[in-house]
Amino acid sequence: MQKNLVIVESPAKAKTIEKFLGKDYKVLSSYGHIRDLKRKEFSIDIAKNFTPDYEIPEDKKELVEKLKAEAKKADVVWLASDEDREGEAIAWHLFEVLKLKPEQTKRIVFHEITKTAILKAIENPREIDINLVNAQQARRILDRIVGFELSPVLWKKVKPALSAGRVQSVAVRLIVEREREIQAFNTEASYRVTAVFLVPEEDGKTVEMKAELARRLKTKEEAKAFLESCKNASFTIEDIVKRPVKKSPAAPFTTSTLQQEAARKLGYTVAQTMMLAQKLYEAGLITYMRTDSVNLSEYATEGSKQAIIGMMGERYVYSRHFTTKTKGAQEAHEAIRPTYMENASVDASAQEKRLYDLIWKRTIASQMADAELEKTTATIGISTNDDTFTATGEVITFDGFLRIYKESYDDDNEQEDESRLLPPLKKGQVLDYTDIVATERFTQRPSRYTEASLVRKLEELGIGRPSTYAPTISTIQQREYVEKGDKPGEERSFNKLTLKDKAISDETHTEVVGAEKSKLLPTDIGTVVNDFLNEYFSKILDYNFTADIEKKFDEVADGDQQWTTIMKNFYKGFHPSVETTLATKTEHKVGERILGEEPKTGKVVSVKIGRFGPVVQIGSTDSEDKPRFARLEKGYSMETITLEEALGLFKLPRTVGEYEGKPVTIGSGRFGPYIRHNDTFNSLPKGVDPMEVSLEECIEIINNKREAEAKRHIKQFAEEPELEILNGRYGPYIAYKGSNYKIPKDVVPQDLNLKTCLDIVKLQSEKAATPKKPRASKKK
């Protein structure tokens, strides 16, 4: 007979807690929410005060049955989900679904998973906070209304299977607007002047010292005049200022900052980071990885302190308590930190190790002393004018936390290295120069978002939660609103004036600027959808929408406001805009652009979003003959394509000749240009121009493919024609009755006989045949 049942959200947490609580407690996990609005239906009865229609999803039914059975057996059920809006709702759904009785149910919360914290929580149970639950219901229902009313508008007006939502649509807006800012950006040039002075040292040698003119010069004439004035000038040190500077460590990791630093320092995508962190968490090596809190438990600060003293001594310790500044943070967990601070490294995969190392260092550094630096600024006067040069140097007098960890920034490569030391200088000292250079510099356009910098921006706006940053980024890419890609830089020439040996030289140099790798770029579809939503649903796309509505959810949580009132007010404004948008008949399709006329026929040439993406169309539907279509190939965008380029897309398919009595044609399909011959399709390799490719080249490609196809079949057995050894993308494998089986590495596939093949099949199908319920999601 079980006395106590404790339910938490995560199974890893359950395992740990069970150890602390002993025999009288059974600890199970709910695996997050156990009930939600129906997946495929609207599930909200607007007329009945927004009554939600909840259901237990298919893949949760077995679990819920188990929880029900265990709850029945227990005297007391402790609902120990997280202490935030979602956690409270999970507790409430459990209470409802498991049909718990109030007198047998206790709601408890704890912020750290230690024995004392949990025992303390058990001593201080409370009841479910229905206001907090209602705030969650309001959040959930509002998101469903927005998503399920807006998306169908897009299906009708733009393209089927698109989506819109409170979070994803704003994420897309950020990316589209950044792209527009970049297009509209005007660079301004100015001249930056640097000088190299010679400073004599005590031993008679001289060292070079770099200095920069305190202001920038606007024009080439101005720069030239300035250098001219320096020709016969003398340079004197007018002032030397030394001042101490302190640097403090960054706060411990939250989900968002971990994603950013792992991207900058380790090159991980946000999804990768989360996957590795999950592994570390499940292995008990780090605390929970989805958090917006920078708080460390006392256990962690104490552990850090001991580790720092042990490694570096007392002087390096400085206990700090960080507080969250993030909008809408709910702080149900600790910051992300190592479970045990004494573990400087762990036994895990190479990638996991690197992530752990980052987390360990960041945590330790957050509990370390400030770094102390001495910054020296020398001002150098010019005898012939009022301008001054400044030389700066920096020395670290005490490394403090920098000994362990230095935070990275997105524009690190742009930053000048100031960590150099100035040579010994005296006030009044006169210096010679070796050269003075005026270089033309340009203002920089904003840079495109990376996955991680988009996460940072979303968090700053209070949009999205730690558990959704990675999924949101994947959604907007799946919908093809955004794609990750590179932008080549542009060549730009700049002017450089050098004063050396009392002569001024004038040179033009070139540089490549603005090259970007793995950035988020808006697609045509993303741009069209964004502009459409922004025009008709500007309120939802407003960067402050989430923050404003969150304030109202907080009022609900505090009991100052009915959740249904919030919904009524929102719906009153929102729903009519959906109705009118649907009713609005427009002459042109959303995003359509007329390019001109086809010279031969005079038919209208336009670009628009078709059923399968952006297309060029010649002719209209109301004319007698059907319009012709061509996909927009990569490299073209609806906003910039010209009439000539658009017409060029209709040059395919073209016939290049005949081979084996059958025509060879070049076409352009969903996956790029291809050669069609005798009902076979052969992709054209990259770099081959589909307009220029010759018949001979095509024949070679066709034959190569045939050869590869022939090599695909390694072996087959007369006794069992259904079994084949094939060569695939991942090497040789066995294909048998519609399934594929891996061939062990130490086996030469040619040497396999039928029996060993069947053994492999048998072995692997047994392994795979863990009798789990079939996956709910079906693939098309």
Partner DNA sequence: CAGTGAGCGAGCTTCCGCTTGACTT
Please give the positions annotated as active site. Answer: 288
Judged by CB under 7 A, the residue of 23, 600, 745, 772 near DNA is 772
Q: How many CA atoms lie within 13 A of 358 on its CB side?
A: 27
d(CA 109, CA 89): 13
Q: How many CA atoms lie within 13 A of 660 on its CB side?
A: 7
Q: Residue 279 interacts with DNA (CB under 7 A)? A: no
From the list 411-419, 428-436, 572-580, 769-777, the region that binds DNA by CB under 7 A is 769-777
Least CB distance to DNA at residue 770 (A):
6
Size of the site for DNA (CB under 7 A): 87
Q: Residue 514 interacts with DNA (CB under 7 A)? A: no
H or E segment and range at residue 621: none
Least CB distance to DNA at residue 711 (A):
16
Q: Which is nearer to DNA, 208 or 579 (CB)?
A: 579
From the list 6-14, 61-69, 121-129, 352-360, the region that binds DNA by CB under 7 A is 6-14
Judged by CB under 7 A, the residue of 400, 466, 619, 690 near DNA is 466
Least CB distance to DNA at residue 172 (A):
10
Q: Residue 167 interacts with DNA (CB under 7 A)? A: yes
Judged by CB under 7 A, the residue of 18, 55, 112, 147 near DNA is 147
Contacts of 21 (CB under 8 A, 6+ apart): 4, 6, 27, 118, 122
Q: Residue 163 interacts with DNA (CB under 7 A)? A: yes
Nearest residue to 140 (alpha-carbon basis) of 30, 36, 33, 291: 36
Judged by CB under 7 A, the residue of 144, 157, 173, 677 near DNA is 144
d(CA 490, CA 482): 22
Q: Which tokens belong to 198?
A: 């010679």
Contact call for residues 277 and 355 (beta carbons, < 8 A): yes
Q: Residue 178 interacts with DNA (CB under 7 A)? A: no
Q: Which tokens belong to 689?
A: 């121009």
Q: Which is nearer to DNA, 25 or 741 (CB)?
A: 741
Contacts to DNA from residues 376-415, by CB under 7 A: none
d(CA 385, CA 605): 63
Helix axes 350-366, 270-282, angle to 10 degrees: 80
Least CB distance to DNA at residue 622 (A):
7
Binding mask 620-639 for DNA (x = CB under 7 A): -x----xx-xxx--------
Q: Residue 160 interacts with DNA (CB under 7 A)? A: yes
Q: Which is nearer to DNA, 506 or 579 (CB)?
A: 579
Q: Residue 151 interacts with DNA (CB under 7 A)? A: yes
Least CB distance to DNA at residue 363 (A):
20
Judged by CB under 7 A, the residue of 249, 303, 464, 522 near DNA is 464
- Residue 485, Ramachandran bin (φ over 0: left; ψ between -120 and 50: alpha; else beta): beta
From the list 167-175, 488-496, 510-518, 568-576, the region that binds DNA by CB under 7 A is 167-175
Judged by CB under 7 A, the residue of 53, 58, 62, 282 near DNA is 282
Q: Which tokens belong to 10?
A: 């995560």
Least CB distance to DNA at residue 527 (A):
16
Query: What one-character DSSP code corresponds to residue 671?
Result: T
Q: Residue 166 interacts with DNA (CB under 7 A)? A: yes
Helix axes 524-536, 130-157, angle to 10 degrees: 120
Contacts to DNA from residues 55-94, by CB under 7 A: 82, 84-87
Judged by CB under 7 A, the residue of 589, 593, 603, 715 near DNA is 589
Q: Residue 523 interacts with DNA (CB under 7 A)? A: no
Does residue 338 have a cis peptide bond before it, meaning omega lies within 30 degrees of 0? no
Contacts of 672 (CB under 8 A, 6+ apart): 633, 634, 683, 684
Q: Which tokens belong to 130?
A: 């229905």
Phi (first) and psi of residue 661, to 5 degrees: 80, 0
Nearest residue to 571 (alpha-carbon basis) of 141, 152, 165: 141
Q: Residue 367 interacts with DNA (CB under 7 A)? A: no
Contacts of 438 (CB under 8 A, 6+ apart): 191, 192, 193, 217, 223, 224, 226, 227, 496, 497, 498
Contacts to DNA from residues 314-333, by CB under 7 A: 330
Q: Which is nearer to DNA, 148 or 636 (CB)?
A: 148
Q: Residue 770 interacts with DNA (CB under 7 A)? A: yes
Binding mask 15-54 for DNA (x = CB under 7 A): --------------x-xxx--xx-xxxx------------
Determine the 3-state secondary structure of 202 from DSSP: coil
Contact call for residues 104 and 76 (beta carbons, < 8 A): yes
Contacts to DNA from residues 695-734, by CB under 7 A: 728-730, 733-734
Least CB distance to DNA at residue 322 (A):
21
Judged by CB under 7 A, the residue of 465, 519, 552, 677 near DNA is 465
Q: Residue 648 interacts with DNA (CB under 7 A)? A: no
With the C-alpha atoms ordered 567, 568, 572, 577, is the resulting torsion angle positive or negative? positive
H or E segment and range at residue 144: helix 130-157
